Chains A and B, each alone.
Chain A
Amino acid sequence: MSEIVLNIDGKEVAASAGMTVLQAAQQADIHIPTLCHHEKLEAYGGCRLCIVEVEARGRKSYVVSCLYPVEPGIVVRTRSEKVDKIRKVLVEELMAHAPDAPELVRLAEEYGADRHRFDKETSFCVLCGLCVRYCDEVKHKNAVGFIENGAVREISFIPEIAAKECWSCQECFTLCPTSYAQAAYLLTEALAFPGRREAHSHAHAHATPEPERRVIPITPVAATA
């Protein structure tokens, strides 16, 4: 594979063709924040937190590093006044929905984001799509999907599939940056196939430890933190 040399934060970094700027940076131990990115999943480009400044052929632009392919000679800045400002506002926007998500709290500190800048509308989900894409691309079950567009978009478990598949999987819960995936699942369970949890624990009272152990406790989040 052909070697490509690019410059990230003043450092010459070698990468191979087809890599993204994010991969090149990670390889060189340069940290770029991400929220919707996951190694196992196709790059999504939704959260835009991994945005960086790129100078190529004399032109400066802002691109998301999880998708932007490495090119020889480009100059990448993972931090700049503009980049930091974009990340700060993005975090502020997301904190209107999930003010206590640990990753957001950490990012808020780093970028000086004001978690109260926007009126709270605590839906908890930041719509990173990790649960949806994991269930689709890795599990091929599509038990959870997006419904609606724009500002009213949300994720939703499809009861028919969830009843069959999710019980023994629950893998997306740990991917979720806000623990909403689990909450949404539990809500679906309660509404669409109630009694399942009890029946299950009876039947397996003396059997091997259950997938339930994987249910992570939902961190209590105050609605108007």
Chain B
Amino acid sequence: MTMLKLNSAAELEALRAKILAGRDPAKPCIAVCAGAACDGMDSAAVACAFLAEVGRQQLGERLELRTTGCHGYCERGPNVVVTPGEICYFEVAPADVPEIVAATLRGEVVERLVYHDPASGAKAVHMNEVPFYKHQTRLLIGDNPKIDPMKIDDYLAVGGYAALIKALTEMTPDQVLDEVKRANLRGRGGGGFPAGSKWETTRNAPEKIKYVIVNGHEGESAAFMDRAMLTGNPHKVLEGLIIGAYAIGAQRGFMYTRHDMPLLEKHVRNALAQAKEYGLLGENILGSGFSLEVELHFDVGIFVSGESSALMRSIEGNAPEPRPKYVRTSVSGIWDKPSNLNNVETWANVPQIISRGAEWFTSIGSEKSRGTKLISLSGNVVNSGVVEVPMGTPLRTLVFDIGGGVRDGKTLKAIHFGGAMGGSIPARLIDAPLDFDGMSKLGAPIGAGGLLLMDEDTDMVEVARYLMDFLTKESCGKCVPCREGMQQMLQTLTRLTEGRGRQGDLELLEDLVEVTGLGSLCALGKTSGDPLKSMFRYFRPEYEARISNQAANQAADQAAAGSGDTK
């Protein structure tokens, strides 16, 4: 298809019609996942094998091939999905390719490569029958297997940019803002802050020049859903950003993403270029009079650069140190201009809120947390991967129905949310609903959505030490309570894990958690003690045992050494 600048909504719809007319829904399509996990299992070789097979048999007319972003079920990659029917093949090797091609052409299924229940052996062929998928509501990530992230036409084919058309042609910026506010969309990057009110603050700030930013830094350990979203469907995030910029009155946008993911960079760069070519970015978008430029920026590989003020300093070209001022970035951000920052997933929610409306959106999820949430499942779980469920879903569904429970037949000990600034709750709270406020109250705030399963063998002191070690390396070092407090907590925790605990260590840790929490400059330091807080709340005896055992052992050792000396 030749690229052309589209000058109106009608031209975009005409293009969409043309794309769809050129596609036969009955023509089989084989989608090979090229997401990070599958890529790590050499899905590229599988994709090459398909290409070779189709070339060898000259099947181009009868079969479509597509490489896509993450399908979700990373554990069982390389993943292949065949449409129509969304037949899921798992752990596909290049050697399986001729058989899949042959079966697909005959309208048959390669039984040995579909899902088999590990207990009963029962088969699940179609995506909506596979346990991992069937308990999900995949509003955001569900398009991934249908889209080659390098092709804007694929996004248009699934209805992409229709929300932008609606916003630009049927709604005023205020109406867009109002829709997002009524949807009660809450930020997915960790805080759960209402996106609508943040947008409004930036919109109402007196400065004329305003910025919108996508936070695609995703530094939280055990979180990998933002990159799955952004790498697999960059246009969805971009569409959300353009709609947001329209509502806020911003003229310039930034995509701030990881520097260490070549595929992500390639897809986002390409998406920006294609959107620009089609006239979905740049001057006078679709003839609406609204203009927006978006550029790509990379993080500098340190965790704190995901924090809003540090991120903005980084975009300005400065060291990513959190800004100490008591003024919100939505009022004074990049170059002191009002700047609205949202997480990848937050932006990705915007198009559907505009197309389907706030009422529809608020019908999903729990009362105070609407919509779905992307979750990265990992740790001692049977099925690791990227999961999307309605807010309010019981953790049990996530862990057992979707996650398949604990690996190696072990029992569940704890669930950890939110990475190094999150918390752990014991297995007995498994029926708690996934909800921003509820999980925060329990001491395991959802954070960005990294869920880590921990089995019976997990040493909770070691977990806290590990997380503190991670954060200590990520502190920018500017403020004393974070730089020094975390270092002291780490040293104390290290002592405990090494069997050198002292009486008073728990009290010391509690002091440090409190002072670091109250005194630190930015949220990294402020929440660095949260994992420990949850440990003291639910796993205190494990910590106490370390101390009393160790103190007793040390006393015994000393006594033994002492008596040895006198002999």
Contact = CB atoms under 8 A, between A and B. Distances in A.
A48 B479 contact: yes
Interface stretch (B333-341, B346-354, B485-493): B485-493
A47 interface: yes
Contacts of A51: 518-519
Nearest to B495: A119
A68 interface: yes
B389 interface: no
A45 B324 CA distance: 6
Interface string A107-131: 0000000000111000000110100
Given A93-B481, A119-B491, A151-B487, 8 more contacts: A46-B478, A64-B324, A82-B518, A86-B518, A89-B515, A90-B481, A90-B519, A150-B487
Contacts of A160: none
Contact of A67 (B326, B483, B518): B326
Contact of A43 (B324, B484, B486): B324
Contacts of A152: 477
A38 to B, nearest CB: 15
Contacts of B260: none
A93 B324 contact: no
What are the 8 tightest A-B residue pairs by CB atom distance, in nearest-first order?
A: A45-B324, A153-B477, A93-B484, A150-B475, A151-B487, A89-B515, A150-B477, A48-B519
Contacts of B485: 89, 93
A139 interface: no
A51 B518 CA distance: 9
Contact of B480 (A63, A93, A117, A146): A93
B520 interface: yes
Contacts of B324: 43-46, 64, 67
A6 B519 CA distance: 23
B42 interface: no
B475 A68 contact: no
Interface of A: 43-49, 51, 62-64, 67-69, 82, 85-86, 89-90, 93-94, 96, 117-119, 126-127, 129, 146, 148-153
B515 A85 contact: yes
Contacts of B488: 93, 96, 118
Given A45-B479, A62-B518, A127-B483, A68 B326 contact: yes
Contacts of B39: none
Given A89-B511, A94-B484, A119-B491, A45 B473 contact: no
Interface string B520-559: 1100000000000000000000000000000000000000
17 contacts: A44-B478, A45-B324, A47-B480, A48-B479, A48-B480, A51-B518, A68-B326, A82-B518, A89-B511, A93-B480, A93-B481, A93-B484, A93-B485, A127-B477, A148-B477, A150-B472, A150-B477
A119 B500 CA distance: 14
Interface residues of B, number: 30
B476 interface: yes
A151 B477 contact: yes
Nearest to A119: B491
A96 B484 contact: yes
B325 interface: yes
Contacts of B512: 89
B153 interface: no
Contacts of A62: 518-519
Contacts of B476: 149-150
Contacts of B477: 127, 146, 148-153
B302 interface: yes
B474 interface: yes
A68 B478 CA distance: 18
A134 to B, nearest CB: 16
B484 A150 contact: no
Contacts of A117: 508
Given A48-B521, A82-B518, A149 B302 contact: yes
Nearest to B476: A149
Contacts of A68: 326
A96 B508 CA distance: 15
Nearest to A146: B477
The residue among A51, A62, A89, A127 with the most chain B CB atoms within 10 A of its own CB is A89
